[in-house]
Amino acid sequence: MRTTRGEKAFYVFNYILLTLIALTCLLPLLNIIALSLSDASAVLSGKVNLWPVDFSFASYHSLLTGTPILNAFWNSVKITLIGTGLSMLVTVMAAYPLSRGHFYHRRFFTMAMVFTMIFNGGLIPTYLVVQNLGLVNSYWALWLPGLVSTYNMLIMRSYFENLPGEVDEAARIDGCGELGILLRIVLPLSKPLLATIALFYGVGYWNSFMSVMIYINDTSMFNMTVLVQNMIMSNLNVQDFTDPTMVGSLTPEGIRAAAVIVMVIPILAVYPFLQKYFVKGVMLGSIKG
């Protein structure tokens, strides 16, 4: 089929628009990378744009040796890995029974969970509940209140419903129970979806900010997001946390930029490995509601 002139014009416009959107995301990142890798004199003189000037790792060296960034990094890793694991476990446990046609009152339980997407108790009641449970200043205050995302659960439930029913029947004939069907049949067939949902949860936990600010009082328990935000908002004095001999080669802007890059790198590193599952997992889970 020949492409009409109108379709060609639409494709050109679409490519231009998407390129501009991509540049609005890419150019600021390139500028931050350049600032973090440039010498202090180049940063102060405003010569740094998209490429490092007078290449230097001084900002990263001072950031890693003079600030609690490594402790915050491991806090973020702990929050993300444990939180993602718990959320995936509970989401699977909720989505699987709701996807089975013989589950009693599954429509009621589904609507009850959807209700929470529209209405919630609010910040103050939620904080009081967390406080009365003794979870303040504990990572459980980050994990338990948002343990299950209803949106993710609905995607997973829909995906499970679309799996061939004949496979379940064959497994039951062979003597497999519900747990065996879930572990041996459903989950192995759902790897694209599981990778996608795990990415959703992982990015959410890695970027946790408001919940950490509200529930965590011990600064040694802060994650990367909160620590970097504090560094950006505060007036950094490089003499407070670095070798005096390196003061001339450092700027607060360079150290802040290095902190942002250290925070972003783990997600950028993980995403390419899950990208091939991303679109497939979401689309297959949205065939029917």
Closest CA to 250 of 69, 71, 64, 73: 64
* 39 and 81 assigned to the same domain: no
For 79-118, the pLDDT digits (tens) are 999 999 999 999 999 998 888 877 888 888 888 888 888 8
pTM to 2 decimals?
0.82
Residue 62 — pLDDT band, cuts 50, 70, 90?
confident
* 60 and 76 assigned to the same domain: no
Q: Within a domain: residue 98?
A: yes
According to the model, what pLDDT value does residue 186 have?
A: 86
What per-residue string of b and e applies to 200-233 under the rule 16 or more CB within 10 Å gives b? bbbebbbebeebbeebbeeeebbbbbbbbbebee
Q: Within a domain: residue 61?
A: yes
Closest CA to 215 of 282, 87, 127: 127
Domain-ending residue, one of 186, 215, 244: 215
Cα distances (Å, whole numbers) of residue 99 to 32, 150, 162:
46, 14, 9
pLDDT of 254 over the 50 cut: yes
Q: Within a domain: residue 226?
A: no
According to the model, what pLDDT value does residue 176 have?
A: 79
Residue 285 — pLDDT band, cuts 50, 70, 90?
very low
For 194-240, the pLDDT digits (tens) are 888 998 899 999 999 999 999 999 888 999 899 888 887 776 655 45
Q: Within a domain: residue 225?
A: no
Region 181-197: mean pLDDT is 86
Residue 178 — pLDDT band, cuts 50, 70, 90?
confident
According to the model, what pLDDT value does residue 282 have?
A: 52
pLDDT of 283 over the 80 cut: no
* 23 and 61 assigned to the same domain: yes
State the residue range of the domain holding 24: 5-66+235-284
Q: Report the number of distinct structural domains present in the chain.
A: 2
Residue 246 — pLDDT band, cuts 50, 70, 90?
very low
Place of tokens 């939180």: 83
According to the model, what pLDDT value does residue 15 have?
A: 94
Q: Within a domain: residue 122?
A: yes
According to the model, what pLDDT value does residue 169 have?
A: 79
* 99 and 19 assigned to the same domain: no
Closest CA to 278 of 196, 160, 158, 202: 196
Domain-ending residue, one of 160, 187, 215: 215
* 79 and 187 assigned to the same domain: yes
Region 134-160: mean pLDDT is 90
Q: What is the mean pLDDT of the chain?
A: 83
According to the model, what pLDDT value does residue 247 have?
A: 45
Q: Within a domain: residue 227?
A: no
Q: Within a domain: residue 78?
A: yes
Domain-ending residue, one of 215, 248, 271: 215
* 34 and 62 assigned to the same domain: yes
* 61 and 87 assigned to the same domain: no
* 31 and 117 assigned to the same domain: no
* 62 and 77 assigned to the same domain: no
* 145 and 61 assigned to the same domain: no
Residues 227 and 208: beta-carbon distance below 8 Å: no
Residues 6+ apart with CB under 8 A from 206: 76, 79, 80, 223, 224, 225, 266, 267
pLDDT of 289 over the 50 cut: no
* 62 and 82 assigned to the same domain: no
Q: Within a domain: residue 95?
A: yes
According to the model, what pLDDT value does residue 250 have?
A: 67
Task: Residue 153: give its domain's CATH number.
Answer: 1.10.3720.10
* 96 and 151 assigned to the same domain: yes
